[in-house]
Amino acid sequence: MVIKISFWLKKSNIDQANLEYITVGNPTKGLDNRLVNMYSCEVYLSDKKIRFPLTCSDNPIDTLCFTLEWIKSYLQALINRGYTISEIESKEPWKLEGKDPQVCLKEKLDEIKNDENIPSEVKKKIIRNFERGI
C-alpha cells in the first residue's frame, strides 16, 4: 500500500505553481536498534526522502495515522508561510483548518502523552520524532 497525495504548490508572490506530491510508504517493522519491533513509514516530499522515521508505533494503523497528522501539519505550515495548495485538476485551493499548525500538533502530542495504551518508551520516540518534523 502506498499513499500518494498530489497538489499544486504556489508561493503567493510568484505566478508559477509547481506540481508537488507527498508519498507515504507502507508501515514496516524496524530492524535496527532504534526501532526494533516498531512500525514506521517512509515519507517522500516530491523526490526527497525524509531520512528519519517521522512517526512510529507498535502497530501499523497508529503509525499511518500519526504520519498523516504530521503531513496535515506540514501542509498547514506551508499555507501559513504564504503558499497556496490547490487541487490537481480544478486548481481549487484546499481548505485546511484555520488553526495554527503548532496548536494542532500540541493537541495531538497531548493525546499521545495521555494515552495509557502506548508504552512510555514508544511515547518518547513518537513525541521526539514529531517535534523534529516540524
DSSP string, 40-71: E--EEETTEEPSS-S-EESSHHHHHHHHHHHH
Query: Does 59 score more than 80 pLDDT?
Result: yes
The mean pLDDT of 127-133, rounded to a whole number, is: 66
Scan for cell 531520512, then name that residue: 51
Q: 11: domain range?
A: 3-133
Q: How confident is the model at residue 134 (pLDDT cuts 50, 70, 90)?
A: very low
Domains of the chain: total: 1
| Secondary element (H or E) of residue 128 | helix 120-133
Q: What is the pLDDT of residues 83-102, one digit of tens each?
A: 888 998 888 888 776 566 67
- Residue 29 predicted with pLDDT over 80: yes
